[in-house]
Structure 1
Amino acid sequence: MGQSVQLIRRPDTVDAVVARMRDLAATLPERDGVAVFNRVYLAVTEEVGRRLAAGRFADRRATTTLDVRFAERYLTAVDPAAEERRAPACWRPVLQSRRHPGVRPLQFALAGVNAHIGHDLALAVVDTCEALGCEPAGLEGDFERVGDLLVALEERVREDLMPGPDLLQIADPLTHLLGAWSLERARDAAWSAARALWALRRLPDVAEEFTQRLDAAVGFAGRMMLTPLPG
């Protein structure tokens, strides 16, 4: 029981997020789909922590809050202590396919990035605005700086998990998967969604419907990404 309480406790610093990710990694088999995404996300979150410590962000509080609220949505979705709770639609494809032998590690990583950027990021921006009492425009600079690190996340995914050039041929379905999704476009869409949700905050029914449709659309894309591939 004590371990479950610790797992679901809300992190409030980047170091706490990193600790949660490391704890999660220690409980998962290396080939597990969540473990694959967690490894690359952990590396990027550690880099955020180093840059914060070095004073690389103009507004340390805003960047910390955005990073923590962003990571919290992922950790809540995949937390093994909350298995009885239905995960957001965007994360269900990864959770349901996480041990499928026909899904390659690169697919799990990209599907995780898709869920986290396409859905979680927009909601994290709104969470941060509410926590700090600011408008989305006040976070745009921090959003862009964190976004630059997300590009590093995608690059790390490709570097660590991409098959060698002799294995990835033009006819390989993985080649088409890599070309069909763009982190830059997903990040721009997340910013637009965050602004829309903020504008809709006084219309909670409409905001909820918008959020559900965003979640479902991102989940649908994730399910396509996780189609088992030959070889």
Structure 2
Amino acid sequence: MNIKQATTIDEVIECLDEIIEKSKFEQCAIGLFATLYREVTMQIKNGIGTGLFQDPERMEKLDVIFANRYLKAYYQFQAKEKCSECWQFSFTKGEEYWPIVVQHLLLGINAHVNLDLGIACAQVSTPESIFDLHSDYNKINEILSNLVNGVEKCLVEIWPTLTYILKLSGKIDNFFIDFSMKTARDGAWKYATEFVLLPENEWEASIQKREIKVTRIARLVSNPGFFVSSIFKLIRLFERGTVAQKIIELSKVEYSPVTETVVTPECVLES
């Protein structure tokens, strides 16, 4: 099994470009999250170059370790090998018809932030240094929040009447905002501060326990109840364009660069 792993942030971007192009060619919705994630990585790269982060060297190391967890899961799935349960769920949904763009993005955010980010933060830290990372961690969360907020512009392009639906039903708007702004934040940091204290022989058991909780959230994203699911199906039926065209639209979204930390995380997923 050929599992590509990056050693630099530029190699991360190259791998994501390959996944995006393959997804466009195969009309596979897995490429939607990869497109959003590429933008996250570009903003982190730019932040490293402009002095956004307190420790640029540590941030690049964190970015590569973080990305390699996604890349490993992706290539395992492509090879039909076992990968993390929450990633398995997300990638499988990426090959199905009914999930809408929002759901594909949130499934990827859920797996990568709630599982992978905490582990990556712990792996670039020690029990003594973990809290030195907190400021830069908050900047990552600000980047994520900024990108998720900008995605709604893309969704309106894919389905122009989405704005009307969002105003008609605050439940859908809240589903999108509440999940992305809460679940992707403080729970991952809390897990990082606990994971870093564990001896290596307890890592696997801790990760497996975490996967169960993260997969539970993925199932909620996939099936958020009768009312919201019904609206999502309506949106899906009238989504405009092929998967490749949706990926292109998502890549066109303009995001404001992050310049300072304004995030105050709220804990949703308990470790």
Q: Give the aligned partner of residue 96 of structure 1.
A: 92
Q: Give the aligned partner of residue 25 of structure 1.
A: 20
Aligned match for 2:74, one of 66, 75, 78: 78
Q: How many residues align?
A: 222
Residues 109 and 157 in structure 1, CA contact (< 8 A), matched pair in contact too: no
Q: Which residue identity does 1:11 align to in structure 2?
A: A
Q: In structure 2, what is the Cα distance between the partners aligned to 1:222 and 1:25?
A: 22
**Cα distance, 1:26 vs. partner?**
0.8
The 1:102–1:208 alpha-carbon spacing in structure 2 relative to 1, beyond 3 Å, is: same
State the TM-score, normalized to the length of structure 1. Answer: 0.84
2:155 aligned with 1:157, yes or no? no
State the TM-score, normalized to the length of structure 2. Answer: 0.73
Q: In structure 2, what is the Cα distance between the partners aligned to 1:176 and 1:212?
A: 29
**Cα distance, 1:213 vs. partner?**
1.4
Q: Which residue identity does 2:15 align to in structure 1?
A: R
Q: 1:49-75 CA deviation, whole Å, 9 max, x = no partner?
A: 122222332211111111111111111
Q: Give the aligned partner of residue 264 of structure 2.
A: none
**Cα distance, 1:113 vs. partner?**
0.7
2:80 aligned with 1:105, yes or no? no
Matches within 5 A, 1:109-120: 109-120=105-116
Q: Give the aligned partner of residue 185 of structure 2.
A: 187
Residues 65 and 128 in structure 1, CA contact (< 8 A), matched pair in contact too: yes
2:195 aligned with 1:197, yes or no? yes
Q: In structure 1, what is the Cα distance between the partners aligned to 2:64 and 2:128?
A: 17
C-alpha RMSD of matched pairs (Å): 2.5
The 1:179–1:140 alpha-carbon spacing in structure 2 relative to 1, beyond 3 Å, is: closer
Q: In structure 2, what is the Cα distance between the partners aligned to 1:82 and 1:75?
A: 10
The 1:191–1:105 alpha-carbon spacing in structure 2 relative to 1, beyond 3 Å, is: same
Residue 157 of structure 1 aligns to a residue whose secondary structure is: helix
Q: In structure 2, what is the Cα distance between the partners aligned to 1:81 and 1:186?
A: 23
Q: Give the aligned partner of residue 217 of structure 2.
A: 221
Task: Kindly report structure 1 stretches of 4+ aligned residues shifted beyond 4 Å.
Answer: none
Residues 77 and 91 in structure 2, CA contact (< 8 A), matched pair in contact too: no
Query: What's the % identity of the aligned pairs?
Result: 23
In structure 2, runs of 5+ residues without a counterpart are 224-228, 235-271
Q: In structure 1, what is the Cα distance between the partners aligned to 2:138 and 2:46?
A: 17
The 1:140–1:73 alpha-carbon spacing in structure 2 relative to 1, beyond 3 Å, is: same
The 1:75–1:159 alpha-carbon spacing in structure 2 relative to 1, beyond 3 Å, is: farther
The 1:179–1:146 alpha-carbon spacing in structure 2 relative to 1, beyond 3 Å, is: closer
